[in-house]
Structure 1
Amino acid sequence: MLSVALKFKSVFPVYKKREPHYNYEPSSEDWRKVEKICKFLKVFNLATHVIYGNEYPTANLYLPEVWRVKQVIDDAIEDRDSFMREMATSMKEKFDKYWGECNMVMSLACVLDPRCKLHVIKFCFPLIYKPEHVAAENIEKVKNTLQEMYDEYAEKYHGETIISGVNTNSLVASSNVVSSEISGIDEMLNIVREKEAIHPTKSELEVYLDESAYIPEGNSKSFSALEWWKNSSLKFKVLSKMAVDILAIPVSTVASESSFSAGGRVIDEYRS
């Protein structure tokens, strides 16, 4: 409503001239406040559309939006205008209430976003959690939980020896196939794979975290973390299963249709 009112800012004084009984024309100070508030709340509007979008976003998108909200609240607390400071102070109390403890699911989901990995929590946590040692404790807690969860998944799938997404048990069997039944290149590739099938010194999790963050081409909105893990499932066979389970956790218990549906608020023709 405020953003729409700004577009028609010039209409109010004109209407005041034409309608003598109109006594609610906003002053220049009112319009200045409206502009500041619109700029402030625009961040919340964008975050809401990302988190509660119609396409049921994956959990990795949540933490960056929370960090952005935290950032604008902190900036507003330092604002020179008292009305902004008062509003932001109240909002900060609520924010701190809900984020007093680390939201582990959202943090893990962010780490399992190949574009973010550990970089985002190392950047966001010192801004969200104060003082610095509390942020460091929460970062360490995320790392430990990530490792513990990966160990559980690795144990669950321990029967499969994963080397670049290839099951070495099946390689040994396939290499014993009579050469006349397969092509020359297939037989040669089986031999090469056997030579390459050395037990890895690093776990999939360590390999994933050590690699550079993935930089997608084009618009980031078109990037799908689930699709990336699907394409990387041969390389990270165990970790991809874990990533899919975490990323699929909904960031809200309210369906996006319910949040934004105006169906129940539309006045029918008779009542209108």
Structure 2
Amino acid sequence: MIDSTIEKFKTVLTRVFGRHKAIMEKYRKFAISINVTPYSPHWDCNTRWSSTCMMFESLTRQRIALQLFYDTISKGKNPVSDYDWDLMEEFVEMLKVFKQSTTFLSGVYYPTSPLLLNELWLVSAQLERFEQRSEIFVLVTRPMRQKLVKYFKEMPPLFTCAATLNPCINVTGVEALITKIAMSLNLHKDNSNYIRNQINIFNDTFTNLFDIYTFASVTDSTSGASGSGGGRTDFHIDLYNYLLEEQNKRARTLTPSSKLGIYMEKEAQFPILSVMARDLLTVQASTVASESAFSFSGRVLSKLRTNLTPVAVENMHLSTPPEDEDDDDEVEDEDGDEEYGIDETPSYLRGG
């Protein structure tokens, strides 16, 4: 049902924002004439629901203009009905959690690995809520739920361990998130012990990891002392009590970028946790940042810049972050949304 509705909208988009710039210009003038801001669509990617959300967000903002304009150029043969628009607005509401999580986990100026588990719960809870709305959303969320189950089951333990080092979550928070995610995804129905088993696996994994760091600290120390003891007893004292204390005192006021700073401040008091934090909290939860860096390289090394030395290219990378680079073909409004402009033709129009 939702796939056919999406295809209807893409038919309209292809006609209005496709290869014919004359039609695009007519639509721009028409939208402005009825006091509607024209936005070029963010063409979606089949593998990323966040991009689908962005595409339909730009459409719902100009619903009236698109309906009236397409009725005119199609002589009343508009494939998109009012019901389709209403359904799509609900669909966008559901997909916003994907967009927000993608944006949040794609940050490069704060640790993202300790945030993944919480974002996974937010997505699973959103799917659970929309499943209760209608049979349509039961069908829509089914493949999403299946992928989410796969991600949760195959998620590397690094992310649960990193979440433990987040004073806003810590050990008890990770156990609560594991429980909530498993229940939202109905993983406990087939196996009543599933949640307890996952919590035990998490605790054993983190305890073993702490012991590994403790052993390495003792081995590397010239004095033969780690500064915070070695073994599972000190693990509970060092980790559980300290993180619970930090949660009660200051966790609610923390910003994402300050989580690693806590362990830098407490390095002398908790040397093992500080080393673990440097290793675990610096892992990125998303590949968006690295992909953006490669894309930025392609824009720097263009046909207009063929004489750049390797040093010059490196300096440009360091001095101009990809997100700060201006794009002459796009105009952004005050909210940062792309207004009408010449957008890249989608792959299915190019035949690629």
Q: Does the TM-score normalized on the shorter chain lie above 0.5?
A: yes
1:160 paired with 2:225, answer: yes
User: 1:79 is matched with which residue: 104, 108, 133?
Assistant: 133
Contact 2:207 2:235 (8 Å CA) reproduced? no
The separation in 2 between residues aligned to 1:234 and 1:207, in whole angstroms, is: 17
Give 1:257's aligned residue.
Answer: 292
1:7 deviation in Å? 0.9
Aligned counterpart, 2:205:
145
Q: Which residue of 2 aligns with 1:226?
A: 260
Q: Which amino acid aligns with 1:231?
A: E
1:235 corresponds in structure 2 to 269
Once the 2 structures are TM-superposed, how far is the Cα of residue 74 of structure 1 from its aligned partner?
A: 2.1
Residues 266 and 258 (structure 1 numbering): CA distance in 2 closer, same or farther, change over 3 Å?
A: farther
* Separation in 1, partners of 2:226, 2:74: 83
Could you say which structure has the greater relative contact order, defined with CA pairs below 8 angstroms and 6 or more residues apart?
1
Amino acid at match of 1:204: D
- SS in structure 1 at match of 2:225: coil
Cross-structure match for 1:6? 60
Distance 1:117 1:56, change over 3 A: closer
In the alignment, structure 1 residue 110 sits paired with structure 2 residue 163: yes
Aligned positions of 1:170-209 closer than 5 A: 203-209=237-243
In the alignment, residue 115 of structure 1 is paired with which amino acid?
Answer: C
CA deviation map 1:145-190 (0-9, x unaligned): 1111112222222323537xxxxxxxxxxxxxxxxxxxxxxxxxxx
1:58: Cα distance to partner? 3.1
Aligned counterpart, 1:187: none
Match of 2:178 in 1: 125
Contact 2:163 2:169 in 1 (8 A): yes
Deviation at 1:108, TM superposition (A): 0.5
**Is the Cα–Cα contact under 8 Å of residues 239 and 273 in structure 2 kept in the other structure?**
yes
CA contact (8 A) 1:54 1:256 kept: no
Q: Distance in 1 between matches of 2:86 and 2:269?
A: 55
- Cα deviation per residue 1:65-114 (whole Å; 9 max; x = unaligned)? 1111111122233331x322111011111222232355311100001111
Higher alpha-carbon deviation: 6-15 or 251-260: 251-260
Higher CA-based Rg:
1
**2:157 aligned partner, one-letter code:** M
| 2:340 aligned partner | none
Match status 1:97 vs 2:150: yes
Distance 1:153-1:104 versus aligned 2 partners, 3 A rule: same
Equivalent residues of 2:101, 2:119 under 8 A apart? yes
Question: 2:56 is matched by which residue type in structure 1?
Answer: L
Which letter does structure 1 place at the counterpart of 2:292? E
Contact persistence 1:2–1:34 (CA under 8 A): yes
- Quote the residue 2:75 is aligned against: 21
Aligned residue number for residue 167 of structure 1: none
Q: Give, in angstroms, the shift of residue 219 of structure 1.
A: 7.2
Unaligned runs of 5+ in 2: 1-54, 219-223, 229-233, 303-342
Asked whether the equivalents of residues 54 and 257 of structure 1 are also in contact (C-alpha less than 8 Å), the reply is no
Q: Provide closer, same or farther for how the CA distance between residues 220 and 56 of structure 1 changes in structure 2, counting only shifts above 3 A.
A: closer
| TM-score, normalization by structure 1 | 0.72
Instruction: Please show how residues 39-58 of structure 1 align to structure 2 within 5 Å.
Output: 39-55=93-109, 57-58=111-112
Aligned partner of 2:41 in structure 1 is none
1:210 deviates by 4.5
**Counterparts of 1:128 and 1:217, CA distance in 2:** 22
CA–CA distance in structure 1, aligned partners of residues 159 and 177 of structure 2: 12
**Amino acid across the alignment from 2:276:** M
1:242 is displaced (CA, Å) by 1.4
Contact 1:52 1:256 in 2 (8 A): no
In the other structure, the counterpart of 2:87 is 33
Per-residue CA deviations over 1:21-66 (Å, capped at 9, x if unaligned) read 2522632211111111100110000111111234374310111111
Q: Residues of 2 paired with 1:67 and 1:79: CA distance?
A: 19
Question: Which amino acid is 2:103 matched to?
Answer: H
